Amino acid sequence: GLLPQEMLVPSGLIIPENLKGIIGNLNIDVKNEDIIKQTVKESFEEFLTDKNKIGLQNLIPQLKGKKVYISTNYSKNIQVLDPAKSSPEYSLAQRSIPINIELVNDGKFMLVTSYQRPYIDVISIADSRYIKQIALGTNPDEIVIDDENKLAYITAPSASVIIVLDLKTMSIRQKIRVNGYCEKLLIAGDKIFYVDKMKGAVWAIETNNNYTLKNIGKFPNASALMFANDKLYVASRTKSRLAIIDYNSLGLDSEFTVANKPVSMLMNNGIIYLLSAQNNVIQCFDSNTGNMIKEIELVPNGFSSRMSRIYGTNFAVVADVKTNSYSIIDLNRGVLLKTYYVNIPLKDVKITDSVSLFD
């Protein structure tokens, strides 16, 4: 039979009482430095422009059973909140201020890139613990998830490399050499798009064509990309313009003015959602025609900087850095469901289901 000492178990695993009679009370090493849950509350009051106390906020059904993770430029720690609450329940201690946080593998793990750290950290959401630190050999930046193929793409702009991480094994699968300082990464089927920040050029990588690089053209201050029906949508933050490029001919299909300072795009059921920061509005475009079909107004006098899909859903969360709020968008209906205010000078917001060790 299998002896307890022959079992390979994760550090810190807690054996339920009803199982100890079967497998014994295993002596499992707990590495305190891996446990990153911090219950001591941080105060961000000096960084908040609005000092007024936030009152009770109603919980919408779409956020029941979920947790909210907020990164900020004013702390290394990732703040963890119950939905509709304005203050953190606890935080996840980090070694440096996070650049990007992304949830993976059914929301059970979080990937974190941080400033001046040549690693990507893997956090177990269930027990608030570092489970792996993956050495990259260079400082990473953005993380983009290909959930269908269980891959994460991580930009390393200073090294002109995109690192591909296998989410099943949490190990590096390959490194893709690119031209220039890569950012604004987009994964679209067998194509990878990015912007060379230094030269203002947009590039495509054809993964099914021996990773051939294709120069799409130069675009001033390209801030967001989207690809649909062989058309590449390129938003310019400073020009407040949206260009639609035919991928095969590289010809300009159309170009037009959009709301001020476009910063992010998502697509759902053929509709492209374009977030513009200064006007604090989301414009919705039909990817079949390129025509705008509606606008979703966000918080008045806000400045929203990031928009991302809530893991495993057709909802999106929009982070407003000016009003310290996050808004929930129903992507199927194209409507704003609710805006929540927090006592944190937020940078990015991610939302996923609450998980436990035995889920």
The pLDDT, as a whole number, for residue 30 is 46
Q: β-strands 271-276, 262-268: how paired?
A: antiparallel
If residue 20 lies in a helix (H) or strand (E), which one and from where to where?
helix 17-23
The pLDDT, as a whole number, for residue 358 is 63
The pLDDT, as a whole number, for residue 233 is 97
Q: What is the DSSP letter of 304?
A: E
The pLDDT, as a whole number, for residue 52 is 66
User: Whats the size of the chain, residue-wise?
Assistant: 359
Q: Is the pLDDT of residue 62 over 70?
A: yes
Closest CA to 27 of 14, 36, 16: 14
Mean per-residue pLDDT over the chain, rounded = 90
Q: What is the mean pLDDT of residues 267-280?
A: 97
Q: How far is CA 157 from the centre of its chain?
A: 18
Q: Is the pLDDT of residue 19 over 80?
A: no
The pLDDT, as a whole number, for residue 8 is 45
pLDDT in tens, 155-169: 999 999 999 999 999
The pLDDT, as a whole number, for residue 15 is 47
At residue 244 the predicted structure's pLDDT band, cuts being 50, 70 and 90, is: very high
Contact 258, 276 (CB under 8 A): yes
Please report, as a single letter, which amino acid is at residue 183: E
Q: Is the pLDDT of residue 40 over 90?
A: no
The pLDDT, as a whole number, for residue 46 is 78
pTM: 0.88
Q: How many Cβ atoms are within 10 Å of 196's Cβ, its own excluded?
A: 21
The pLDDT, as a whole number, for residue 99 is 97
Helix then strand count (H, E) for the chain reads 1, 29
At residue 359 the predicted structure's pLDDT band, cuts being 50, 70 and 90, is: low
The pLDDT, as a whole number, for residue 26 is 53
Please report, as a single letter, which amino acid is at residue 217: G
At residue 93 the predicted structure's pLDDT band, cuts being 50, 70 and 90, is: very high
Q: Distance between CA atoms of 297 and 291, rounded to whole angstroms? A: 18
At residue 7 the predicted structure's pLDDT band, cuts being 50, 70 and 90, is: very low
Contact 183, 143 (CB under 8 A): no
The pLDDT, as a whole number, for residue 59 is 95
pLDDT in tens, 168-183: 999 999 999 999 999 9
Contact 139, 128 (CB under 8 A): no
Q: Is the pLDDT of residue 350 over 90?
A: yes
Q: Is the pLDDT of residue 5 over 50?
A: no
Q: What is the mean pLDDT of residues 191-206?
A: 97
Q: Distance between CA atoms of 74 and 321, rounded to whole angstroms? A: 12
Contact 216, 230 (CB under 8 A): no
Contact 331, 315 (CB under 8 A): yes
